[in-house]
Amino acid sequence: MPYAYNGKILKVDLSTGKTSVDEFDENWYRTYWGGSCLGAWYMLNEQRPGVDPFSPENLLIFATGVPTGIPAPGFARHSIITKSAASNAIADTEAGGFFGPELKFAGYDAVVIKGKAEKPVYLWINDGKVEIRDAGALWGKSTGEAQALIREELGDRRIRVAGIGPAGENLVRFACVINELKHANGRTGTGAIMGSKNLKAIAARGHNQPPTADGKTIRDLAKWFADHCMENPANRGLRIYGTGEILAPYSKDGLLPTRNFQTSTFEHAEEISAEKMNETILVEGEGCYACAVRCKRVVKADEPFQVDPAYGGPEYETMAAFGSNCGVSDLVAVSKANELSNKYSLDTISTGSAIAFAMECYENGILSQQDCNGLDLRFGNGAAMVQMVEDIAHRRGLGDVLAEGVKRAAEKIGRGAEKFAIHWRGVEVPMHEPRVKGMLGISYATAPIGADHVVVEHDTDFDFNAPQVFMDQARSLGILCRLPTHTIDEDKLRMYYYLEQHFSFIDTLDICVFTLAPVRAYTMDQVVDLVSAATGWECSLHEIMKAGERRVNMFQAFNIREGFRGKDDWLPQRFFEPIPNGPRAGYKVDPEQFRKALRLYRRMHNWDPETAIPYRAKLVELDLAWVADELAKYTEVPE
């Protein structure tokens, strides 16, 4: 019998209304593990290349990891995998909360959805039973309204709901999927794909947690984490301040994106900081299923905007995207933008970035006040920023243009707007400065989903000011020496390569990065012990690192099959220009050094240094010969 997983994957065809179940053997699960690696298997096996993201043929996959749902901190996440509405490349996004474990307890390890319903529907999964139910009364509703109506209709307030609001319904290309009103599968437009299928939500309820092989070890390690996590400086900061703890220090050190990445320090950072939040509008901290970290923020305010605590509170990326990057110093305005984003199912990074782009266009005379729906859309105008979130979600006026993402918006606006569109592959850049963090530059350029900030731990965690515990725990990954933050030399590329495999297995097993080494409380040995105890398999760090490498190569293969090549790995022009002022004045990415780093990165992977096509030998070594055969149908695969 399988431990920790069900061995069943639900398949739903919304066009026909038919459902079926795939069942795979133990070796298949031990090879692909779940999460986004499972999703990549389906995307490569069951979807032809060239499918439009909004086509009914595009698969939409909700997947848990093999150990998802074990009663220990860090095992609450699930992945969504599809073809991106933003980039036309692979889309992969993870979220915490309670939906992933509930899906597992409801009897399925993943849900693979294709087709398009004739009218709005939602999917109801209840202890193995599946219904496609009418969602006509839910369409047009916010995520909160829809969740309440679903629970009322089905008569169970414990039902977990992952769904979309008006932004997903309106096919905003950076719409996301929200569960429990505050946990977002952000980035890459998965909510728009859901909307294109007329799928409002998936509701799950389960009472059958899969058995584990060694419950005592899991309980003991869960208790150890609860007792000791506050001894870890990163977990302690997350508990007290949430991810926003880094905002004020980032500004002081010249790491904080400000006014559409024009500079990297914000003179009003203290006003939108986590410390300010704790002093003023914070209600409480919350956590995900079985987690002792409790990094989520819940805020409430009445003036100058009413902020509903049901939608949580802003995290660092959101605080920077709507705050410093829009030049806004009003924490309540930032929190209101976060509430609206969760209510309408908008990715906060892309939404804030789209507004910051429009603000720079406005201040440079490319957009007029009339173009901006009558708003004085200058940097720092918090009220205008909040209104623009509404306009994007409902595709009103300029909001309709920005809803396409900054790449497409700049092309439509023209008149030089392209130079203010800070994105890569159509995905807006997250709130970290690649002119200072060398590994983030590589990540933004090469990440398969487009600009992505969670491909590796950040350079600052291994520089000369980082806590010693981070370095001690990184040693089992082969990272032995501290390195300067801004470099992208051979030593930094080696660090990047190891961390990339590490982060990739995190997303394959759907573990929360806020719980484990090298920066958080669990050691690598403890993670291996937890996975072994869950599955009954005698796992090793080598095995799960290989699972991460397998996912990296499968994602790369999908993108190669879609026509992407090494020439598509680069950065926005702004990052090759020096930061004009502040503590990091003069920092920039050197294009020749960066080009050299990209070639070395590909060679480390055993990919062709020019095309970035994986060598067949590498795919065979990863038990992916079938992927090499699939690629060979469309392009020459180097031996």
Residue with the two structure tokens 């929360």: 512
Round the average pLDDT of the chain to a whole number and report it: 98
Q: State yes or no: pLDDT of 533 exceeds 80.
A: yes
Query: In which band, very low, low, confident or very high, does the pLDDT at 393 lie, cut at 50, 70 and 90?
Result: very high
For 395: left if phi > 0, alpha if psi spans -120 to 50, otherwise beta; the answer is left
Segment 517-535 mean pLDDT: 97
Q: State yes or no: pLDDT of 577 exceeds 80.
A: yes
Q: State yes or no: pLDDT of 239 exceeds 80.
A: yes
Give the residue among 112, 417, 21, 73 at the shortest CA–CA distance from 226: 73
Helix (H, G, I), strand (E, B) or coil at 494: helix
Q: Which amino acid is at 66?
A: V
Segment 603-625 mean pLDDT: 98
Residue-wise pLDDT tens digits, 80-105: 999 999 999 999 999 999 999 999 99
Query: In which band, very low, low, confident or very high, does the pLDDT at 231 lie, cut at 50, 70 and 90?
Result: very high
Which ranges constitute the DSSP H helices of 69-123? 99-105
Residue-wise pLDDT tens digits, 136-149: 999 999 999 999 99
Which positions ≥6 away from 366 have C-beta within 8 Å? 413, 415, 416, 417, 420
Which positions ≥6 away from 520 have C-beta within 8 Å? 229, 232, 234, 235, 513, 514
Q: Indicate the fold that domain 438-632 takes in CATH.
A: 1.10.599
Angle 331-344/382-393 helices, nearest 10 degrees? 0
Contact between 299 and 277 under an 8 Å Cβ cutoff? The reply is yes
Q: Which helix (H) or strand (E) holds 631?
A: helix 625-632
Contact between 138 and 146 under an 8 Å Cβ cutoff? The reply is yes
pLDDT of residue 311: 98
| DSSP output for 246-286 | GHHHHHHHT-S-BTTTTBS--TTGGGGSHHHHHHHTEEEEE
Helix (H, G, I), strand (E, B) or coil at 88: coil
Helix (H, G, I), strand (E, B) or coil at 122: strand
Query: In which band, very low, low, confident or very high, does the pLDDT at 253 lie, cut at 50, 70 and 90?
Result: very high
Residue-wise pLDDT tens digits, 413-469: 999 999 999 999 999 999 999 999 999 999 999 999 999 999 999 999 999 999 999
Q: State yes or no: pLDDT of 510 exceeds 90.
A: yes
pLDDT of residue 479: 96
Segment 577-594 mean pLDDT: 98
Residue-wise pLDDT tens digits, 11-32: 999 999 999 999 999 999 999 9
Q: State yes or no: pLDDT of 317 exceeds 80.
A: yes
Contact between 504 and 551 under an 8 Å Cβ cutoff? The reply is yes
Q: What is the DSSP secondary structure assignment for residue 70, as one 8-state letter?
A: -
pLDDT of residue 116: 98
pLDDT of residue 435: 98
Helix (H, G, I), strand (E, B) or coil at 226: helix
Q: Indicate the fold that domain 9-205 takes in CATH.
A: Aldehyde Ferredoxin Oxidoreductase;  A, domain 1 (3.60.9)
Which positions ≥6 away from 372 have C-beta within 8 Å? 358, 362, 384, 388, 397, 398
Query: In which band, very low, low, confident or very high, does the pLDDT at 1 lie, cut at 50, 70 and 90?
Result: confident
User: How far is the C-alpha of 417 from the C-alpha of 414, rounded, in Å?
Assistant: 5
Query: In which band, very low, low, confident or very high, does the pLDDT at 181 lie, cut at 50, 70 and 90?
Result: very high
Residue-wise pLDDT tens digits, 254-263: 999 999 999 9
Domain map of the chain by residue range?
9-205, 251-421, 438-632
Class of the domain covering 251-421: mainly alpha
pLDDT of residue 448: 97
Angle 490-509/35-46 helices, nearest 10 degrees? 80
CA 417, chain centre distance (Å): 27
CA dihedral 282, 284, 287, 289 (to 10 degrees): -140
Instruction: Please indicate whether the domains covering 9-205 and 438-632 agree at the CATH topology level.
Output: no
pTM of the predicted model as reported, rounded to 2 decimal places = 0.98
Tokens at residue 361, please?
């266009």
Q: State yes or no: pLDDT of 293 exceeds 80.
A: yes
Residue-wise pLDDT tens digits, 33-59: 999 999 999 999 999 999 999 999 999
User: How far is the C-alpha of 178 from the C-alpha of 192, rounded, in Å?
Assistant: 12
Q: What is the DSSP secondary structure assignment for residue 230, as one 8-state letter?
A: G
